[in-house]
Amino acid sequence: MTRTKLIAGNWKMNGLAASTAELDKIIAGAKELPSRVELLICPPFTLIDRFADRAERSRVAVGAQDAHPKASGAHTGCVSAAMLKDAGATHVIVGHSERRTDQKETDAEVNAKAAAVIGEGLIAIVCVGETEAERDAGRALDVVGTQLAGSLPAGSTAANLVVAYEPVWAIGTGRTPSTADVAEMHAHIRTRLRDQLGAEGEGVRILYGGSVKASNAAELLAVADVDGALVGGASLTAEQFLPIAQAV
Ligand SMILES: O=C[C@H](O)COP(=O)(O)O
């Protein structure tokens, strides 16, 4: 099955108003990309509104990095999916390993967040991935299978769900798994998606994330069931991000 590749940039806690200049370069470069690739930038909350205005009618979608499961209420410092939609976001990353570690997010919380995102008509990008100790112990497939079972909400479809596989030990380290290991994990995720979502599981895009850059993108994106990339550090500049999309 052909799935349109998604190259998503997660800016994490980076970016100020002046970064709009970099977004403009990404928008300009995106015009030259083939139609088989979609681009997404997920800046910090503070830039979503500004970026969404800027990217309107362009090839670049704008997303968020987290959402609270509730639509509104007494949750100081939190932002809901409804607010993100209002600001112009179309996608929301949930369950990133940095949040699973720093904020101790559980699969159940990730599930509730993804359900809220989907409930607002947005696309949830649910992140999964094993630690180095879990891989060394031969538990990577089991760990990711358990995360998927717990994190994917009822009502997930190919249209409202994207899964991002990010081995924790590959994030920001310059290290990547072998293409054989990526292929094994993505095939495993595909099987689990078919088991959990039936026919819809075939169309859900599975991104690889963890030290993706221009020099390794073509190799990683050519692996079966790798339907795009979730890019951190190399998404912060057009110079580094666009060549990853060009590698599709
Ligand atoms: O969400 C993106 C990832 O955590 C990957 O980050 P990285 O490309 O800097 O390794």
Quick check: pTM over 0.90? yes
Centroid of ligand 1 to alpha carbon of 158 (angstroms): 23
- Interface ipTM: 0.99
Catalytic residues: 96, 166
* DSSP conformation letters of the chain: ----EEEEEE--S---GGGHHHHHHHHHHHTTS-TTEEEEEE--HHHHHHHHHHHTTSSEEEEES--BSSSSSS-TT--BHHHHHHHT--EEEES-HHHHHHS---HHHHHHHHHHHHHTTPEEEEEE---HHHHHTT-HHHHHHHHHHHHSPTT--TTTEEEEE--GGGTTTS----HHHHHHHHHHHHHHHHHHHTTHHHH-EEEEESS--HHHHHHHHTSTT--EEEESGGGSSHHHHHHHHHT-
- Cβ of residue 130 lying under 6 Å from some atom of ligand 1: no
Domain assignment present for residue 192? The answer is: yes
- Cβ of residue 232 lying under 6 Å from some atom of ligand 1: yes
Domain assignment present for residue 123? The answer is: yes
What pLDDT does 147 receive? Answer: 98
What pLDDT does 8 receive? Answer: 98
- Cβ of residue 210 lying under 6 Å from some atom of ligand 1: yes
What pLDDT does 2 receive? Answer: 87
- Cβ of residue 211 lying under 6 Å from some atom of ligand 1: yes
Nearest protein CA to atom 7 of ligand 1, as residue: 232
Centroid of ligand 1 to alpha carbon of 153 (angstroms): 24
Domain span including residue 220: 15-237
What pLDDT does 1 receive? Answer: 79
Domain assignment present for residue 74? The answer is: yes
Q: Which residues of 36-53 are buried (b: 16+ CB within 10 A; e: fewer)?
A: ebbbbbbbbbebbbbbbe
Sequence-distant (≥ 6) Cβ neighbours of residue 156 within 8 angstroms: 114, 118, 124, 196, 197, 200, 204
Measured in whole angstroms, how far is the alpha carbon of residue 239 from the centre of its chain?
20
Domain assignment present for residue 243? The answer is: no
Q: Sort residue 164 into left (φ over 0), alpha (ψ -120 to 50) or beta.
A: beta
Domain assignment present for residue 43? The answer is: yes
CATH number of the domain within which 58 lies: 3.20.20.70
Low-confidence ranges of the chain (pLDDT < 70): none
Q: Sort residue 211 into left (φ over 0), alpha (ψ -120 to 50) or beta.
A: left
- Cβ of residue 174 lying under 6 Å from some atom of ligand 1: no
Centroid of ligand 1 to alpha carbon of 73 (angstroms): 31
What pLDDT does 58 receive? Answer: 98
Q: 63 among the known binding-site residues? A: no
Nearest protein CA to atom 2 of ligand 1, as residue: 232
Domain assignment present for residue 170? The answer is: yes
Our count of domains for the chain comes to 1
Domain assignment present for residue 139? The answer is: yes
Domain assignment present for residue 188? The answer is: yes
